[in-house]
Amino acid sequence: MIRRTLLAAFFLLISYQSKAAQVGFVETAGNACESTPGRYDLQSAGEGRVVIPSGLYVKKEESSRIARGTCTFALTLQAERGKKIIVKDSRQLLSLRAYPLNTKVRAELEIFKAGAQGAKQSLEVQSTEAAEKLTQYLGQQDVIVETACGGSEILRGNLSATIMGEGKARAFAKNLTLEIEEVSCQ
């Protein structure tokens, strides 16, 4: 009985690893990534979701007039023969803070198939005489990319923040989460 259980667990592990290999790894780059830019294995966020380590942090002090930062990612998707991979429902929490006087913070997120243009989403907050803050999710509910049957695609994402003005400010974003599923071709 123990031998069967161990054998079943072994085959489950091999099956899981082969499915994980179909999605591959994610590569990040940029000057404001929370995690060190590089290559990462995908981490599960539960409920069929994965975490893309594309958190961002940009800070501006009163002594400077402008601060900019970016964090980008690329994820290779390779579907098995007779299957396709669907990526949808992206979510990323952004938090913007602007302190007086006359300071503007703008963040933009774009997720797209390599070679195509995606829907650019943005958040902006501006302080005049009082501090202003905004915390909100950005994301896309629809299908972002779908591979051909047995095909491959590269999913890319760009997150950037620009801070301008006289006061202090910051832009912070948590890691992006996506739903990735492999389905049979019909």
Residue 26 CA to residue 146 CA, distance in Å, equals 17
Give dist(CA 144, CA 163) in Å, integer.
28
Choice between 109 and 15, residue whose per-residue pLDDT is larger? 109
pTM for this predicted structure: 0.83
pLDDT at res. 23:
66
In whole numbers, what is the pLDDT of the chain averaged over residues?
A: 88
Rounded CA separation 95/138 (Å): 11
pLDDT tens, residue by residue, 33-83:
999 999 999 889 988 899 999 999 999 999 999 999 999 999 999 999 999
Strands (E), 11-82: 25-29, 39-41, 43-46, 49-52, 56-60, 66-78
Tokens for 115?
């070679």
